[in-house]
């Protein structure tokens, strides 16, 4: 359980980010036109994007904190630095959510969202290191897994909760920060293009 729990913590925030940045965003853009109403006020598109990213971060914080408390109840925490796994989980969620938000802003329908769920989120959930070590995968799948934020989030969260922080922890954190930062920049660009029309 001590092996599974931190992996599931990171994977849960990935799934939460996917859910929060697909259908609700396209609804606000196209179906409900919520953003049109918001932009009729003094708010800017930058404010709207900042609000969405802030909401996502808050939602991820709630999910990660509750999950972490359950981990404590089940006795899966074995290190003093373990609470930092909450921050890793939030960053993992942002590393997925921000790029997906950027993608969602380019869509006219919701057709692509089920494809993302079926062919990206679900396989990553199963093969991203949450259930078994990535080094047990075939070489090609190992490479693919390490290109994604989830593998880095799982490795870092697991190291923090078990007390076995590896030498790659800094790289894992930088990869998560890079995905989240580039995703936020991309989301700002695509939302600006979409909402300016």
| Residues 140-163 pLDDT 10s | 999 999 999 999 999 999 999 999
- The confidence score (pLDDT) of residue 153 equals 98
| Coil, helix or strand at residue 13 | helix
- The confidence score (pLDDT) of residue 195 equals 96
Residues of the chain with pLDDT under 50: none
- The confidence score (pLDDT) of residue 9 equals 99
pTM strictly above 0.75: yes
């Amino acid at each position: 359980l001590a092996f599974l729990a931190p992996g599931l913590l990171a994977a849960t925030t990935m799934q939460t980010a996917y859910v929060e940045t697909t259908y609700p965003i396209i609804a606000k853009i196209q179906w409900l036109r919520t953003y049109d109403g918001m932009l009729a006020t003094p708010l800017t598109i930058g404010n709207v994007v900042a609000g969405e990213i802030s909401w996502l971060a808050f939602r991820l914080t709630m999910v990660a904190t509750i999950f972490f408390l359950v981990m404590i109840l089940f006795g899966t925490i074995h290190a003093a630095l373990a609470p930092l796994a909450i921050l890793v989980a939030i960053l993992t969620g942002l590393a997925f959510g921000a790029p997906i938000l950027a993608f969602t802003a380019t869509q006219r329908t919701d057709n692509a969202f089920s494809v993302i769920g079926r062919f990206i989120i679900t396989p990553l959930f199963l093969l991203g290191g949450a259930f078994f070590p990535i080094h047990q995968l075939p070489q090609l799948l190992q490479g693919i897994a390490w290109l994604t934020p989830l593998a880095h989030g799982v490795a870092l969260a697991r190291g923090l909760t078990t007390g076995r922080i590896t030498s790659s922890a800094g790289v894992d954190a930088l990869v998560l920060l890079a995905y989240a930062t580039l995703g936020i920049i991309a989301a700002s660009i695509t939302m600006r293009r979409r909402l300016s029309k």
